[in-house]
Amino acid sequence: MHQLHRSFFIGLLFTICTTCVTNAADGQFAVESNLRAGVAKVDITPAEVNQLEVVGHRRKVTGVRDPLRAGVLVLDDGETKAAIVTLDLISAYDELVKLTRLQIEKETGIPAANIMVAASHNHSGPGFDAKSKWGQELIEKLGAAAKQAASKMRPVTVGYGEDKIGFGINRRKVINGRAVVRLNEDGPNDPRVKVLRFDDGKSLTPLAVVMHAVCHPCFFTWGDKGSMPYPNGYPKMSADFPGEAQSFVEMCYGQQTSSLFLQGCAGDIRPNLPGYPYRCADEADIQWAGRDLGSAVVRTLARSVTREQLANRATHYRIRVANSVISLPGKEGRIDSELQAMKIGPYLLLTMPGEPMVEYGLKMEKDIADRAIPIIVGYANGHVGYIATADSYDVGGYEPNTSKLVPEAEAIILTELSVLADRVIGDVFESFSKHPKDIKKREQADKARTQKP
């Protein structure tokens, strides 16, 4: 009987230990990939904020609700290195982009032309002055974050999914032949959330998350000045809903992942906060939006590591980057603007340096959706202000009236983005021809693109 009890105890112990081992391994998955990734995030909130004037809807703030952050995702396919930098700021100012690229290239060796610098378009943060103490600290922090990310790279595969948010709404309505500021549920909108997750396979927690959504981060700004409790805008610095959403995602994964936000074509999309014509948000509003976006991202992340989804992941991801600086027709003369295409495996990121109206993203996706998985990014690699559609000039309104561009700019931008897409997708003859002349032409173009100024 004693021997029977002993055997039972040993068997039970073996079962418990086996179960523990099985549970520990459950959720791990093999990663076979040429792509390596590293990520880092850094707090970029100014040290002194009392009575500092934030930009967007200008107002002075008295403190900080939540920190402003920057994220740096470094990628390497074995031949090409690239980086994506995200900022909780209103704009990727030209000088900010230039200095950031130079600093990251210095710290990591990533060619400046292969670095995307994108802002969330946050209306509750500071402007950028390269000569200010904060401006200099910001550039140093971005370089340090890139160096940190590059120092801990590991093989990854990439998952993708989509969901939806419910707080964005078009802010233009045409009445009697002219556009007025109005929350317009029937206007064009893009409520989709696009999510990339980078996994090392060690657990179900992603190494890095890149979320993409379309809406002005102007919850905490003035609108209807008769609405309490903040008729003149929220009195504290904040990263607005993109910051709230990033924090929500990181909380759900026990602070063991880093989430980055990319803004889409949000030129005419804002939070649905009714008023005359709209009101400033309060704490309930920002939690609603942050958790709406955050939970959409988390749902997508969870779904994309099921066995069926993992089975569909690629094992080879080629990075291809293309840039061009085009001269756009402006109301007061020509305006130079940078466009960029960055393809990571099947995922194609196309950028514009300002505030494109939502129709730009919808049009570009329609043109290339059967050739790659498109993610159209605004507020990146410079800032030219509003990028309004040609049709919008016929009825006027805030966006075309304040734009520095003329209607003819739309066709030029869309055509050039298509050309850049051709170069990185690689399914047009010139992009894959093995003829020596074509190879030499591509090599010369890439050398000219990535060489130091």
- Model pLDDT for residues 286-339, shown as the tens digit of each residue: 999 999 999 999 999 999 999 999 999 999 999 999 999 999 999 999 999 999
> Residue 428 — pLDDT band, cuts 50, 70, 90?
confident
Q: Is 159 helix (H, G, I), strand (E, B) or coil?
A: strand
Count of residues for the chain? 453
| Two tokens, residue 419 | 């050309």
pLDDT of 6 strictly over 60: no
Query: How far, in whole angstroms, is CA 145 from its chain's centroid?
Result: 17
Contact present, 146 and 107 (Cβ < 8 Å): yes
Average confidence (pLDDT) over 238-244: 98
pLDDT in tens, 258-289: 999 999 999 999 999 999 899 999 999 999 99
* Contact between residue 171 and residue 184 where contact means Cβ atoms under 8 Å apart: yes
Apex CA 398: angle with CA 393 and CA 402, to 5°? Answer: 80
Give 164-204 as a DSSP string: E-SSEEEEEEEETTEEEEEEETTS----EEEEEEEE-SSSS
Quote the pTM value.
0.92
Distance CA 84, CA 150 (A): 12
DSSP calls for 429-450? HHHH---HHHHHHHHHHHHHHH
Check if the beta carbon of residue 187 is closer than 8 Å to that of residue 172: yes
Instruction: Name which of 373, 397, 344 is nearest 37 in CA terms.
Output: 344
How many other C-beta atoms are found inside a 10 Å radius of the C-beta of residue 445?
Answer: 12
